[in-house]
Amino acid sequence: MSDDKDKILKAASDTFFKRGFYKIPVDDIASSLKMSKKTIYKYFPAKEDLIREVACLFIKTHSTNITGIINHDYNAVEKLFYIFKYLGGMLINMSEQWFSDVQSHAPEIWNEIEVFRSKIMTRNISGIIEQGKKEKYIVNYPSLIMMNVFISSVRGIINPAFITNNKIPAFKALESTLDILMNGILTPKGKNLLKKLKMEKS
């Protein structure tokens, strides 16, 4: 990828996540970069192409980072905690306007993000749950049920409808979701570890 294309994607990502994209002209991106629109259109013939590339970069970046947490030699509680912490940090940097624009003007992009999210969670959450059972951090409920509760909960919080229709910041809602889920599946040993992790965070 060229330096100019990298710069355009970075500037567009920063702008779209903070201000949405529907009412943002390409001129704003060009102006922030002190670059001509012609240069932007060289790499992205239409604004829709730029939006899609931003979404693809978003998926690729977060897939890599979450996979890194999953593949680390953390115990199961640490993995779940750091994944939720990572997702919360991601949401802090994304405005309600971004989610509103995706919902209203680019639902196909949201569907791609939804597919990515479901795949990465389905592929990995059950493994983390099984690891936690072996470590005696997670209670011995059926893993399939616990996995689906996790996926449904995250899907219910990180979605445009919830974020645009509720006054609770998405990252705060995610923190509450983590507390509810973890307190439901952790053993006393697991709860003590989660408490220590949260104290380290604060």
Instruction: Spell out the per-residue pLDDT of the chain, length 202, in tens.
Output: 578 999 999 999 999 999 999 999 999 999 999 999 999 999 999 999 999 999 999 989 988 999 999 999 999 999 999 998 898 888 888 888 998 898 889 989 888 888 887 788 788 888 999 999 999 999 999 988 998 898 888 888 877 778 777 777 878 888 888 899 998 999 999 999 999 998 886 5
pTM of structure: 0.86
Does the domain made of 47-201 have the CATH classification 1.10.357.10? yes
Closest CA relative to residue 109, chosen from 95, 117, 123: 117
pLDDT at 120: 80
Q: Which phi and psi angles does 47 have, rounded to 5°? A: -60, -35
The C-alpha angle 196, 64, 79, rounded to 5 degrees, equals: 20
Q: What are phi and psi of 10, to 5 degrees?
A: -65, -50
Distance, C-alpha 115 to centroid of its chain:
12
Return phi, psi of residue 159, to 5°: -150, 150
Largest CA distance in the chain: 61
> Residue 142 and residue 164: Cα distance in Å, rounded?
34
